[in-house]
Amino acid sequence: MRVPRSLPIIVLTALSLLGLTTQAAAAPGKYVALGDSYSSGLGAGSYGSSGDCKRSSNSYPQLWANAHGPSAFSFVACSGARTQDVLNNQVGAVTADTALVTISIGGNDAGFASVMTDCNLSSDATCVSRNETAQNYARSTLPGLLDGVYGQIRAKAPNARVIVLGYPLIYKLGGSCIVGLSETKRAAINQSSGVLASVISGRAAAHGFTFVDGRTAFSGHEICASGARWLNSVTFPIEESYHPNTAGQSGGYYAALRAVTG
C-alpha cells in the first residue's frame, strides 16, 4: 500500500500539538545552593578545593546540578555556617534570574554541634539540660534569624522556587545500638531535631517556601536503625560526625529534593 506523501507532515503536526515531538528539554534556570554543612556535604567526602567549607561532589546540590544541568549553578553552602554567615557570604549569589534556591540553616545558630559534644562527654542530666537550652533558643530566637535570611532570599529572587531542607533525626530510638550514648541522651537529641523541624518548617511556610522534612527523608536510616545508616556516628575526622554520609546525601536529601522538583 502506498503511503501518502503528506502523512509524515500530518503525523509531525499531530505530535507537535500533543507535545510529543522529540525536542531536547530546556535546561532549568539558575540554581543557588545555600546553607550549612548538611548542604555543603560535610561527611560525604570528596571536597575538592573548597577548603573549610567542605563542599562535597557527593552532596545533594551537586547531584541535583549534575542530573538537571541548570543554566548556572552557584554552590556556596559552607560547613559551620550560621544565619549571619548566609547573609554576609552566601546570599549575594542569589540574583533576580535565579530559578531555584535550596538551603539548610539554623542548626549551628541553636548550638547543635556543641550539644553533640556535651552529650558525648557529659552525664545524662547535662545532656538533657543542654538540649533544653538549644530548644529554647530555637523557639525564641531562631525564628527571627530565619526570617532575616528568608526575606533576603525572596527580595533578591522574587520568582525563585525556594526549598528549605530540614535536619534528620540522629537516632532510631529503641534501635540496634548496643554501645554509645544512652537512650536518654538519644531521646533528648531527637527532641531537639524535632523542635528545629517545627520552627524551620513554620518560618519556611510563612515565606511561601517548600519545606523538605529531613526526618522523613532519613526515616529508617538513622544511627541505630536496622537499615543502612545514612548518618555518621562518631568518626574521624571528628567534624564529620553526625552528618549525612554519601548514601545519606543521595538516598536521603537528593531523593527528597527530586521528589519535589522532578
Residues marked as catalytic:
37, 243
| Intra-chain end-to-end CA distance of the chain, in Å | 44
Residue 11 is placed in which grid cell?
Answer: 503525523
Helix/strand/coil (H/E/C) assignment for every residue in 23-54: CCCCCCCEEEEEECHHHHCCCCCCCCCCHHHC
Cross-sheet strand order for the sheet of 210-212: 73-75, 30-35, 98-104, 161-165, 210-212
Find, among 240, 262, 180, the residue nearest to 45 by Cα. 240
Find, among 87, 91, 105, the residue nearest to 38 by Cα. 105
Name the β-bridge partners of 32.
74, 101
> Cα(174)–Cα(45) distance, rounded to whole angstroms?
30
> Cα(220)–Cα(199) distance, rounded to whole angstroms?
23
